[in-house]
Structure formats: C-alpha cells, structure tokens
Structure 1
Amino acid sequence: MFYKASMITFALAFVASASPTPPPAAIRIPLQKRNLLTNENGTVDSNAILRETARVQNKHRQNLITIDNKIGLANFHKGAHVPPVAAPPTEHEKRQAEALADAGPSWTGIVSIGSPAQDFVIDFDTGSPDLWVPSTQCEGCNARHSYDPSASSTSVAKSGTFRIGYGDGSTASGPIFTDDVSVAGIAVHNQAFSAVTSASGDIASGVSDGLMGMSWPGISQLNADPYFFTAVSQHAVPQGEFGFYLAPSGSELYLGGTDSGHYTGDLEYHDLVSTRGFWQIGGATALVNGQPVVFGFETIIDSGTTLMYGPPDAVDQVYQSVDGAVSLGNGNYVVPCDSFPALAFSWGGKAFDINPKVLNLGQVYDGYCQSALGGHDFGLGDNVWLLGDTLMQSVYTAFSVDKQAVGFASLD
C-alpha cells in the first residue's frame, strides 16, 4: 500500500553518557529499490513522469487545503493557492493497477507500533506531517501489514477522524489513536497516528503499508507532532536532527544527528523561512555551467517528491541558458543527450552540483533526453521551488529541528 519500495537504511545516532552501559550500535536496514521513471531500454516513461507530477500536485494540494483551514493561505505565503486537481494520464490504467501507481521512488523502512510491536513498511516523507497505517478493519487496503489496536496494551483511541483525499479518487480515512512507535529502536510514547479503515485509488496500491510524515507540525491533520518531533520532545534522540543519504545502494536515514561517513567537509546550514509547515529555505540561486541564471527564490526540500520543479517562467529562464534545450509543452524539457548542462544550486554559500546521472532521466527521442527539472505551479507561493530526490541524491541533506534549518554537504 502506498507508493513504491526503494533502497534505504536506517542508522541511529547515540552519544556516550556517564552510564556504564554502552549505547546500542547503529542499525541499518537495507530494502529493495525500484525506479519506474526510466524504461529498461534507457528511454523515458513519459506517462510515469506525468503520473508523478500529478501525484505531487495532489499531495501538496491537500497540504495547502490544511494550511488554508488552519491559518489561511494569505498568512502562509504570498501567491499561495489551492491548485486544481491533477488528473494522471489515463493510458495504461490496467498496467498501473496491476503494478505500482506512482512513478518516483519512495524511501521506506520498518516502523513498529504498539505493545507488543506490530511492524510496517513505511514511506518517509519530509513533505508530509502525519503517520498513518492500515487497520485490520480497512476496506480497500492492499497492505501486507495492518494495525490491530486490540492487540496493543498501549493503544488509546482518540476522538476525531483522519482523512486525506487527493481529488483524483485516492482517499484514506480512519480513526485516530496514540500508541508506542519505534523506528529502528528509537521509541516514543503516545504518538498520534491514524489506523485507516478505508482506502481507495492510487493510495491503496503499492508495496508499502503507509506513510510517516517528517515535515513540521503546522500542516498536521492530526493536530499533533510528527514522530521525529515527538522523539525530540521525549529526549529519545541525542540531537534534534536527521540526515538523508540517498544513493543507488547503501542509502540511509540517520536519526538523531548526521552520518559524517557519507559526506565531506562541514554541513552548510540555511535557516527556514517559516516553521509553519515545510522544510523551506530562501536565498537560492540556480546555476547553469557555473553561471547564475535565476536568483533569490525559496526552496522546499521534499523527500516525498522524486523530481525538481520551479515556477514555469523561472524554469524556462534556466533552459534558455542551455544549448539545444527544447520544451515539450507540458513543463518538461529535453536537451541533447551528449551535452547535458551542469546544473547547480546555491543558497549563498557553496554551489552544489546536481548529479548528471539523476538529472538525465533518459532518452525521449533520437539524441534528446529529458531533464529532471520541470516547470510547474503547485500553488506553494510566488518564487517557490520544490526540490525532491534529484537534489537529495546529489548531496547529503540534514534536517535540523534544533537549528530550524536545512543543511547540505558534498557526498563522500
């Protein structure tokens, strides 16, 4: 249930204390990675990219509806608006239903809920706030694992109902509980989540069971702290920080600090422009072949988004600096496969290069390949870009609750 499985590992950070008992060793959990944006012959799956873009728009459409209900979009960001429902392409619907509904990789690991523990394969998403898993009473769920509150001595039913709906027919809803939740041994108590009893559409298909949001609490439909924020408040982690290392193999989420074995030099931190919802930082510049072409924009760093997107006019400005770039007319661009540009982002310090292997999504037609940067208005506000796994597979990324900042470092 919910998106595709990918390769991720979990590592836990612990610090020495005065206690004579040594801290537990780091824990790494490898999982299988699948990427359905590129066909086996190296060509682009154009419908998969359109599905991924529609999924991202509908995901953030729901976030924006929540923000509007809580504080009003005018108080969130200038130009923010609820976009229309994005409809994925209708071709190959049968194939989609038989396989995976969404295009891009999601980063998954094991989450344990309850006493005794009930294990789930969960997507970890820095662009969403809430934790939800399927209930044993769920209708329409195709999950391998489900939550039984009666089997947990620490489960407490709460008032209210959780519901997410992406407008394209994908929905999930169910009651709200609190229970013990553990990720690779980092345990918290009384964590709010939903055990959904109804699911439909794309949200019910896939190979993972549910989702753990890792964004800020302001967009929570549960009106509760996300798991990692609970871990910080309950002193379950030594630092209020987690880091992502995303790679073809050996990927990991590091909870309670950062794993310096995966990056070189120091992390370069940039303050959040707001803690109302997203991991959003400002002062960004896009560079093409070392030359700055777009300045002074904000970026949301989202592990639950596969590609990178900017406002259509700004992205078009980027491609005007790329020899041979051609617009496909839907926000996507192709460039000559043998002369892909060097694209980088800077937030006022070092320029971080995008890995050309992830920037190039594969051949679209003879001699032209599709770029992973597209132009799209998701309603997130004026001058706001959305940077997903294409960026995060090119840098080490740290998300600091303590500093209220996002940090980047070059990969080792």
Structure 2
Amino acid sequence: MLALSSVILSLVLSAFAAPTPNALFRRISTRNVKSLKTADGFFDHQKAIRQVAYDHNKYRSNLINMRDNVGAEAFKDGAQILPPVSPLVSPSEGKGTEKLNDEHHELWAGIVGVGTPQQSFNVDFDTGSADLWIPSANCTATDCAQKAKYHPEQSSTSQRQGDKFAGIRYQDGSTASGPIFTDTVTVAGISVKNQGFAAVESMSGELAHRPIDGVLGLGYPALAKMGQTPFINTGRAQGSIPHAEFGLRITDTTSELEIGLQTGEHCTDAPEVHPVTGDSGYWQISNGMLGRGLHAYAHDFSAIIDSGTTLIYGPPADVAKFYKSVEGAELWDESNGLYSFPCDEAPSDAHFQFDKGWRTISAENFSFGQIDETRCIGAIAGLDMGLGNHTWVLGDSFLKNVYTAFSFEKNEVSFCYPRD
C-alpha cells in the first residue's frame, strides 16, 4: 500500500430493508489510491512485494490472536502460524536483494471522534482486524510527533481500565502499545458509549510514518488482540446501530462503506448470500470454485473476503493449474507467487462461484499492469499463507467486481453486481 494523498471513504448508516423516513445518513469523502500500478500503468514490483509481506504478517498475527482468544481448535485444517517475513525485494537480473524504501500503505481512512467533547482522529477502517487504537498524549517520542493524541483528562466520559495494557502487532510487523480505556466513540454520526480501545504510548517507526493516527477494526471479535468488543458489535448491543452489518463498494477511485448494511438500491441483481464458515474470525465462506467458461481449475475451497489486500491468493498448485488456461502465462516471481502473461491474453471470463451463480473478474481488474511492452502481471498469486488447506483470499481485485455485504448477526457474506 502506498502513500495516502486523500483517501475516499463514505460511511452511511442505513436500515437493512428499505430506508425509513428517519434513517440517518452520513458521508465522509476521501480518495482511494489502492493500486499496484504506477502512474503510467506499469506494474510496481516493490509495492507488490510490500503488499505480500503485509498480508502474510497480517494473517500470521490474526492466527496468534485467534489462538489466544478462542483456542487453536478454531484453526482450519492445515492452518499454522508461519514465521514472519520482511518486505525484501526479490533477487532479479542485475540486482541484489535490498530492503524496500519506507512507504505509506493505502488505507480506508476517515475521521473518528473519541471522548466528550470529541477529539478527532484519522483512522484506518480495517476489515482484517478487530481492535481500535489511537495515540495517547503520553506518546511523546518522535514517532508520535505528527499524530493527533488522546487526552483522557479532557473527556468527561473517559475511564481507564485499571492496569490493562495492550500490545498490538500489525500486519507488516509494526507495533503499538499502551493502556486500555473506554470512552464514547463516534463514526459518521453514530455514537457508541464505553467503547474499549488502546491509547498507545509507543509505536514502531513503520506506524509512525503512515498518514493515519490509528486503526478501527471491522473483523470478528476472535481477531481482537486486546479482548475488547469491536465498534460495530458494541453499537449494535447499545442500539446505536440497527444491525451489526456493513456493506462495501470498491472502485479504482472511490470506496464506500455503509454501517447498518445495504439497501436494495445498490444491486442490479438479487444478492447471493453465503454463510460464514466456522469460528475462524474471518469473513470466510465455503464451497468455492474457480473457473473459466465451463472449466474448473480449483474447487471445494473456502475463501476469506478481505478488503485489506488488492491481491487474490490461492494454493500454489491450484493457481498453477489456472494459469495453464491463460495462453503464454508463466511464473514470474516465485517467492511472491506472481505470474505474468501476454497483456492481450488477459482473461475476461475468470470467475469465482460459491454454491450458486458466479462472479466474474473483468480483464481490467485481473491485470496489475505491464512489466514490459507486451506482458502483464495477474491478480491471482500462488502462496501458502498458513490459513489452512484449500483456503483462498479474495482481495480488491475480486471485490471491485461486486458489492459486498457483511452481517455479524446472520454470519453471512453476500454479493451482488453493483449499480454504478
């Protein structure tokens, strides 16, 4: 994920069914710059390597949190906590291995109010984690210099939770730590009382250089490091949010996150609903198939729906089978599971199916850009992330083709074709 110049995020509170006359509507406008292409349309290899390392360590830390929260018995068959990786540039012709330059990650970001009166923070809305943290006024190191800071003494609703202390390790190995508080938290006009969060007093340099103050997680509680109920779940319990549900629409230029879930106006077809599989902590669905036309190249797998990555990850053997269907495709970066193919052979019929129907990936969304005048990089990468046997991850390259709704209450994920 690269530098955030101005991210677009729309936060809308809506009812699950048709909007009611007194339904709340709030929008925060930002710009989405999540892409693995350079400005001239070429593939950015360094950026992709950083993304792969970020994702690997994200899933690793989530497995650790899940083990600590609900036990390793919640792991899928074959899941294992793999060693962390560093975002190193792969050896290439004429080049050695070098560490990447420090770059910002793309984020779904927006303003959150904490306290009474509100103190404002620019946070990353992350579907792949479940914790909320912001910088503390006690974070006086250089790393915190450019961040907004939480002053508990200035909030009449702030309460420190005794000696509870949070040590959070994030996707790329970055860390944040500090005491746990509860306070009123407001997102897009939705106020939740006694929301738990960490006011971090120290953070690693990786976090310090990102153009955000903190993180608000949208994942299942099983992924929460500090044992606090996530914002949407707290809001539902208090009645501030009508349903513990949200919807997501991603395009190349904008993103839209709805809290309270979708209305039918977003879809051109009937939503295709899938139950979340087990207690993995992820938005994970089963009975998956990857195909082209009438041919299937992987089947009977589960998939994690993750807006935190641009990539699609699958088991290396299954991904290799798929790329055999693409004329001229070959493994280009083995360590990161990336394939190249002739740009004019980009498939327009690759699709994922779960139980019924299928959702096609457009040729444009399948390509991550050119590596030379004739060849491009594919959106599907073959890597084992330690998530278990027959497990895929569907990131933005898939999500840009659909409108996706997530329901904690029904433990469901649904897709429809968006009305753009």
The TM-score normalised by the length of structure 2 is 0.90
In the TM superposition, residue 167 of structure 1 has moved relative to its aligned partner by 8.7
Q: Distance in 2 between matches of 1:223 and 1:373?
A: 34
Q: Report what 2:93 is aligned to.
A: none
**CA 399–166 in structure 1, closer or farther in 2 if over 3 Å, else same:** closer
Unaligned 5+ runs, structure 2: 90-96
Q: Distance in 1 between matches of 2:195 and 2:247?
A: 21
Q: Distance in 2 between matches of 1:245 and 1:180?
A: 28
SS in 1 for 2:136: strand
Q: Do the aligned partners of 1:74 and 1:80 also contact (CA within 8 Å) in 2?
A: no
Q: Do the aligned partners of 1:174 and 1:195 also contact (CA within 8 Å) in 2?
A: yes
Segment of structure 1 superposing worse, 267-276 or 45-54? 267-276
Provide the identity percentage. Answer: 37
SS in 2 for 1:411: coil
**CA 180–382 in structure 1, closer or farther in 2 if over 3 Å, else same:** same
1:261-410 maps to which residues of 2 (within 5 A)?
Answer: 261-328=265-332, 329-330=334-335, 331-341=337-347, 342-410=349-417
In the TM superposition, residue 272 of structure 1 has moved relative to its aligned partner by 0.9
Q: Does residue 110 of the first structure (1) align with residue 116 of the second (2)?
A: no
SS in 2 for 1:362: strand
Q: Do the aligned partners of 1:3 and 1:203 also contact (CA within 8 Å) in 2?
A: no
1:250-295: per-residue Cα shift (whole Å, max 9, x none)?
5211111204333212211101112341111101111124532210
In the TM superposition, residue 211 of structure 1 has moved relative to its aligned partner by 1.1
1:82-231 maps to which residues of 2 (within 5 A)?
Answer: 82-89=81-88, 96-97=101-102, 100-102=103-105, 105-138=106-139, 139=141, 140-141=143-144, 143-158=146-161, 159-166=163-170, 170-231=174-235
**CA 364–191 in structure 1, closer or farther in 2 if over 3 Å, else same:** same
SS in 2 for 1:51: helix
In the TM superposition, residue 188 of structure 1 has moved relative to its aligned partner by 0.8
1:342-386: per-residue Cα shift (whole Å, max 9, x none)?
221110111101233222110012311001110111111111111
Q: Report what 2:248 is aligned to.
A: 244
1:112-144: per-residue Cα shift (whole Å, max 9, x none)?
111111111211111111111112222323544
**CA 49–285 in structure 1, closer or farther in 2 if over 3 Å, else same:** same
Segment of structure 1 superposing worse, 255-264 or 116-125? 255-264
1:22-79: per-residue Cα shift (whole Å, max 9, x none)?
5254222111232352111211110110000001111111111122233443442111
Task: Give the partner amino acid of 1:240.
Answer: A
Q: Distance in 2 between matches of 1:92 and 1:137?
A: 35
Task: Give the partner amino acid of 1:129.
Answer: A
Q: Do the aligned partners of 1:243 and 1:259 also contact (CA within 8 Å) in 2?
A: no
In the TM superposition, residue 189 of structure 1 has moved relative to its aligned partner by 0.7
1:288-330: per-residue Cα shift (whole Å, max 9, x none)?
2453221010011112222111111121121122221110123
Q: Distance in 1 between matches of 2:16 and 2:391?
A: 37
Q: Does residue 66 of the first structure (1) align with residue 65 of the second (2)?
A: yes
Q: Do the aligned partners of 2:180 and 2:197 also contact (CA within 8 Å) in 1?
A: yes
Task: Give the partner amino acid of 2:324.
Answer: Q
Task: Give the partner amino acid of 1:55.
Answer: Y
Segment of structure 1 superposing worse, 51-60 or 69-78? 69-78
Task: Give the partner amino acid of 2:61.
Answer: Q
Task: Give the partner amino acid of 1:193.
Answer: F
Q: Do the aligned partners of 2:250 and 2:399 also contact (CA within 8 Å) in 1?
A: yes
SS in 1 for 2:384: coil
Q: Do the aligned partners of 1:124 and 1:304 also contact (CA within 8 Å) in 2?
A: no
Counterpart selection for 1:255 from 245, 256, 259 = 259
Q: Do the aligned partners of 2:406 and 2:414 also contact (CA within 8 Å) in 1?
A: yes
In the TM superposition, residue 240 of structure 1 has moved relative to its aligned partner by 2.5
SS in 1 for 2:191: strand
SS in 1 for 2:404: strand
C-alpha RMSD of matched pairs (Å): 2.4
Q: Do the aligned partners of 1:73 and 1:81 also contact (CA within 8 Å) in 2?
A: no
Unaligned 5+ runs, structure 1: none
Q: Do the aligned partners of 2:16 and 2:261 also contact (CA within 8 Å) in 1?
A: no
Task: Give the partner amino acid of 1:54.
Answer: A
Q: How many residues align?
A: 404
Q: Distance in 2 between matches of 1:270 and 1:169?
A: 32
Q: Distance in 1 between matches of 2:381 and 2:240?
A: 39
Q: Do the aligned partners of 1:118 and 1:147 also contact (CA within 8 Å) in 2?
A: yes
SS in 2 for 1:391: helix
Task: Give the partner amino acid of 2:157.
Answer: T
Q: Distance in 1 between matches of 2:294 and 2:135?
A: 47
Q: Distance in 2 between matches of 1:235 and 1:3?
A: 37
